[in-house]
Amino acid sequence: MPEIAFYQDRFVDVDEAVIPIQERGHQFGDGIYEVIRIYDGKPFTMPEHMARLEKSLAAIKMPLPYPIEEIERIALEALDKSGLKEAEIYMQITRGIFLRQHQFPEPSSPVISIVVKNARTVSEEKRAAGVPVITTEDVRWKLCHIKSLNLLPNVMAKQEAYEAGAHEAVFVEKGIVKEGSSTNIFCVKDGVVQTHPATNGILHGITRQVVLDLADELGIPVEERTFSLAELKNAEEVFLTSTTMEVLKVSSVDGEKLSEERTVIDQLYTAFQERKQMAKKAL
């Protein structure tokens, strides 16, 4: 099936060169993005992703290039053109094309790009065994709740994990566990699901919130609180969440094997699959 792209105001070949050198997203990372998972041809939690997109734009003082309903319509049209059933919609909005200067261009002319591509998935072997992670110092800027294009620290952390044979790198700041380079991280202690509070220091993951809601529905206690690396390594269960990984067990941290317990993880993963099915039927 083809991958489909949309740039500024038209559909283009996914390999067509369309980004000018003076594009602010290219030069400054001056933009935001979202990734929406498609299951069996149906978008999952699309309203939540679009709401976060609007919040990120507001946080960096960038207007919408089109009304949010039109952006959603274009994204779904691209999905329909692709014919893909298990897919990801990647969309980004930048401040557009202008002479290279740090202050905002006037008037503002934001540009949207959308790509529909095959979904990334986690193998059943990894899901069953869990995945290793490493930790790394959090050197990112302080506004991590904005889903910004400025991802170089995340890229470097992910590469560090890759070179160490790990699945993910987890950011730690002054001994406090924050989140992964492209995930949120949870631990279970005394039967309570714990994760870093939704402050400016982490991305407010859509899957993160779905999991918190599911835990509440299942009667699993939840605490949004900070916890240390030592607490993480001594937890009963540790898992990651993201749009592409869903709910994924962590098997080791920095080479230290974790508990093999996965009762809560399996409950949440099963509930997540059920939520996906309910969402598809509702559309």
Domain that holds residue 148: 124-282
> Same domain for 34 and 133?
no
Residue 1 — very low, low, confident or very high, per pLDDT cuts 50/70/90?
A: low
Q: What confidence score (pLDDT) does residue 38 get?
A: 97
> Same domain for 171 and 62?
no
Longest CA span, the chain? 56
Which DSSP string do the residues of 77-116 spell out, in sequence order?
A: HHHHHHT-SSEEEEEEEE--B--S-SSPPSS---EEEEEE
Q: 3-state DSSP: the chain helix, strand, coil percent, rounded to 5?
A: 30, 30, 40
Give the end of a domain, one of 96, 118, 140. Answer: 118
> Same domain for 57 and 29?
yes
> Same domain for 162 and 213?
yes
- The 10s digit of each residue's pLDDT in 197-218 is 999 999 999 999 999 999 999 9
Q: What residues contact residue 80 under an 8 Å CB cut-off, 6+ apart?
A: none
- The 10s digit of each residue's pLDDT in 18-47 is 989 999 999 999 999 999 999 999 999 999
- The 10s digit of each residue's pLDDT in 241-264 is 999 999 999 999 999 999 999 999
Give the end of a domain, one of 118, 147, 181. Answer: 118
Q: What confidence score (pLDDT) does residue 117 get?
A: 96
> Same domain for 272 and 173?
yes
Structure tokens at 182: 């492209």
Give the amino acid at 262. R
Q: What confidence score (pLDDT) does residue 191 get?
A: 96
Q: What confidence score (pLDDT) does residue 107 get?
A: 87
Burial of residue 160 (number of CB atoms within 10 Å: 0-12, 13-18, 19+): middle
> Same domain for 148 and 89?
no
The answer to whether residue 282 scores a pLDDT higher than 90 is no
> Same domain for 63 and 150?
no
> Same domain for 81 and 139?
no
pLDDT > 90: what percent of the chain?
93
Q: What confidence score (pLDDT) does residue 2 get?
A: 73
Q: What confidence score (pLDDT) does residue 3 get?
A: 85
> Same domain for 101 and 176?
no
Give the end of a domain, one of 91, 118, 145. Answer: 118
Model's pTM, two decimal places?
0.96
> Same domain for 132 and 107?
no
> Same domain for 101 and 135?
no
Structure tokens at 226: 């900070």
- The 10s digit of each residue's pLDDT in 86-96 is 999 999 999 99
> Same domain for 22 and 104?
yes
**CATH number, residue 50:** 3.30.470.10
Comparing CA positions, the residue from 247, 262, 243, 178 lying closest to residue 211 is 247
The residue-averaged pLDDT of 98-122 equals: 94
The answer to whether residue 122 scores a pLDDT higher than 90 is yes
The answer to whether residue 190 scores a pLDDT higher than 70 is yes
Active site residues: 147
Domain count, the chain: 2
**CATH number, residue 250:** 3.20.10.10
